[in-house]
């Protein structure tokens, strides 16, 4: 019986090596302390000895962060898991609604409902041609006869980058028609109204008016006063090298002919009373817009189509365009559900225009 000597396996190994059977030699030799798989490369690029093994699913994240102090890349869980609860909480949180510090003082005026064909009565050309032969007559104010209202812009004082003369020149040019539209709406309510409006202007270097504060007024129509102040804040005046503070005096005087007024439809007073019943909701529409745009305001015309029994078949925006589309949509929604008295004759429907004018008094003036 042969003894187990370490010499015989060595001799057998040498013989097998000559026969190129190293695999059998490895099987016959004594197994080393390190497993053979660690000595045989199984990938093109050998893995570094200090590389961490893949993180098992059940391994807590804390064990990884405490043992991998030499790695240059933070653990994946630390990059993706931690921010998720915070991001999710902010995305589902609704935005807080805008809340006004105090209810705005809203000035709302209207006109008697009138027929749509007379919406632009003041622009009829025959009105001007009718009085051409009066050009040599003297007007009511000691000046040559002039049927249109008088609009005079004076800049009495200016401090800063622009001169008073330059501001006055551009102010009279770009401010005439905006101021006239405000004034003519007031004249349709009172054909004898006139007076002055004084304002302090803050003019930016580029010529835009940053602020127009009312300092005094002799007009008794608050809607007209607020209208001209809002229009003054939208003027583009002469640019200067720096900001300019200026004082503007606006003089409004009646012309030698009354401002043409549209003809009210039959039973206009009763119809206006019914339309005014929706004013609280109209003011709510306007107040909501003021929270976003404090300079909103102006004329809003609504065109109604009403059935003989007073049911509103259609209501849409008229020829004018209010500055804020959201206000227009809101007001149209209010009047689509309004109740009106019967306004049509016989079995025919009736159409008319109802004009509103919305202005807001600045907070400092309302105190």
Kindly give the pairing relationship between strand 209-217 and strand 298-306: unpaired
Q: What is the pLDDT of residue 222?
A: 96
Q: What is the DSSP letter of 185?
A: H
Name the stretches of the chain with pLDDT < 50. Answer: 1-29, 31-32, 34-35, 37-40, 42-43, 46-50, 52, 58-101, 118-132, 364-367
pLDDT for res 102: 61
Q: Residue 160 pairs with which residues in a beta bridge? A: 244
Our CA dihedral for 69, 72, 78, 80, rounded to 10 degrees, sits at: -170
| Nearest alpha carbon to residue 339 among 306, 302, 301 | 306
User: What are the residues facing 158 on neighbouring strands?
Assistant: 246
In this predicted structure, what is the pLDDT of residue 53? 53
CB-based contact 26:36 (threshold 8 Å) = yes
Give the model's pLDDT for residue 297: 95
For residue 215, give the nearest of 198, 192, 230, 201 by alpha carbon: 198
Q: Is the separation of the CB atoms in 354 and 302 below 8 Å?
A: yes
Per-residue pLDDT at 139: 64
pLDDT score of 228: 97
Predicted local distance difference test score (pLDDT) of residue 293: 87
Query: What b/e string do you get for 171-202 counting C-beta neighbours within 10 Å, with b at 16 or more?
Result: beebbeebbbbbbbbbbbbeeebbbbbbbebb
The tens digit of pLDDT for each residue in 228-257 reads 999 999 999 999 999 999 999 999 999 999
pLDDT at 17: 43
User: Alpha carbon of 27 to those of 9, 34, 40, 186, 318: distances in Å?
Assistant: 11, 15, 15, 112, 100
Predicted structure pTM score: 0.66
């Amino acid at each position: 019986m042969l003894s187990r000597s370490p010499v015989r396996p060595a001799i057998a190994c040498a013989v097998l090596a000559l026969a190129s059977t190293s695999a059998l030699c490895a099987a016959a030799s004594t197994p080393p302390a390190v497993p053979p798989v660690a000595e045989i490369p199984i990938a093109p690029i050998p893995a570094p000895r200090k590389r961490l093994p893949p993180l098992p699913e059940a391994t807590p994240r804390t064990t990884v962060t405490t043992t991998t102090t030499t790695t240059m890349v933070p653990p994946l869980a630390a990059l993706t898991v931690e921010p998720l609860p915070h991001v999710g909480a902010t995305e589902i949180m609704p935005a807080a609604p805008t809340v006004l510090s105090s209810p705005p003082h809203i000035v709302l005026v209207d006109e008697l409902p009138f027929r749509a064909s007379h919406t632009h009565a003041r622009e009829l050309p025959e009105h001007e041609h009718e009085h051409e032969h009066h050009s040599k007559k003297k007007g009511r104010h000691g000046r040559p006869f002039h049927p249109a209202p008088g609009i005079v812009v004076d800049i009495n004082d200016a401090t800063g980058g622009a001169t008073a003369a330059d501001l006055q020149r551009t102010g009279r040019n770009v401010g005439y028609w905006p101021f006239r539209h405000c004034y003519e709406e007031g004249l349709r309510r009172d054909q004898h109204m006139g007076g002055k409006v004084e304002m302090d202007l803050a003019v930016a270097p580029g010529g835009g008016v940053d602020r127009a504060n009312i300092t005094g007024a002799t007009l008794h129509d608050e809607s007209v006063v607020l209208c001209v102040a809002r229009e003054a804040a939208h003027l583009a005046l002469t640019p200067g090298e720096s900001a300019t503070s200026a004082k503007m005096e606006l003089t409004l005087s009646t012309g030698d002919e009354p401002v043409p007024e549209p003809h009210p439809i039959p039973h206009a007073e009763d119809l206006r009373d019914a339309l005014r019943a929706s004013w609280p909701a109209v003011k709510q529409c306007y107040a909501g817009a003021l929270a976003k745009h404090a300079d909103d305001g102006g004329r809003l015309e609504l065109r109604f189509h009403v059935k003989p029994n007073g049911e509103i078949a259609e209501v849409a925006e008229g020829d004018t365009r209010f500055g804020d589309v959201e206000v227009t949509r809101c007001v149209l929604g209010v009047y689509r559900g309004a109740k009106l008295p019967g306004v049509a004759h016989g079995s025919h429907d009736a159409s008319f225009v109802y004009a509103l004018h919305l202005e807001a008094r600045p907070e400092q003036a309302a105190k």
